Amino acid sequence: MAFNASKNLSDQIAEYLIDQVISLKIVPGERIMEEKLAKELGVSRSPVREAFRILEQTGLVELVPRCGIRARAITEKSIEDYCDMFILLLGHVTRRCIEHCSDEQVRELAGIYGEMEKHARANDYKLFNDALIRCVEIAIEATENPALKQVVKSIMPNLKRFQYIAIVLKAGSLTDSFEYFKVILDALVTKDPEKGAKAIEAYIANEMRITLTHVKKSTLAQFIEIKESDTL
């Protein structure tokens, strides 16, 4: 990993670890060793320790007594709980975005939706997901609500993690997912907040169903705890 001398070292290490957890290069339940990581990155243990504290605040990892830090396990309940929160928050973000977004922001979002359609037709999961996250970030800015922005910012790492998992597991074509965003774009143009909110809520609910349906059939199954009733 190459570090930027003008940026805080601990922040850069934390960003690196966040990306590793989101992309499942650090798998759910895997322990992150302070000394080992410091040696791998060629840094002292002090900035690594501080990075762990930053990382813990994201909810992506947990501090285990006498065991250090480990990537937080994924359970069916955690998928349901987070998606329930995403539906509430991103539905509200979409409403406020449509109500307050500028013409320039509408044009910017329309441009990204065009990119998403291209990536969907090419079934390029990574670029589709990257474009989707950019849409969320612009929508948050458009709400003109600093408090809402702070709340959504705090859940972004987990939103990216679950979105990545859903896309990795997606059985069908990405064009099916893009249909929801065509509705949102139309809602932006026609200034219909409720139409846009319902579309993003339906999209998240669908992503949750995909994840819950396919996760146990995937290579992720060994890392994801399932409900006790499913083992009977």
Domain ranges, ordered by start, for the chain: 9-72, 75-217
Range 14-43 average pLDDT: 91
Average pLDDT, the chain: 86
8 Å CB contact between 89 and 152: yes
pLDDT tens sequence across 108-158? 999 999 999 999 888 888 888 889 889 999 999 999 999 999 998 888 898
| Order of strands, sheet of 68-71, starting from the edge strand that comes earlier in the sequence | 31-32, 68-71, 61-64
- How much is the pLDDT for 213? 77
Which of 3.20.20.70, 1.10.10.10, 3.30.200.20, 2.40.160.10 is the CATH number of 9-72? 1.10.10.10
8 Å CB contact between 174 and 123: yes
Percent of the chain topping pLDDT 70 = 89
pLDDT of 15 > 60? The answer is yes
CA distances from 110 to 64, 89, 104, 134, 143 (A): 44, 22, 10, 12, 17
Q: Residue 74: which pLDDT band, with cuts at 50, 70 and 90?
A: confident
CA 92 – CA 96 distance, rounded (Å): 6
75-217 is classed in which CATH architecture?
A: Up-down Bundle (1.20)
pLDDT of 6 > 90? The answer is no
Looking at per-residue confidence, does 166 or 192 come out higher?
A: 192
pLDDT tens sequence across 192-226? 999 999 999 999 998 888 778 776 666 666 566 54
Range in 10-19, 88-97, 171-180 the model is least confident about = 171-180
Beta bridge partners of 32: 69
Per this entry, what is the length of the chain? 232
Q: Where are the alpha helices (DSSP H) in 24-102?
A: 34-41, 45-58, 76-100
CA 72 – CA 63 distance, rounded (Å): 9
Percent of the chain topping pLDDT 90 = 52
Residue 27 token pair: 């798998």
Q: What is the pTM of this model?
A: 0.80
- How much is the pLDDT for 191? 95
Q: For the packed helices 9-22 and 146-169, what is the interaxial angle rounded to 10 degrees? A: 40
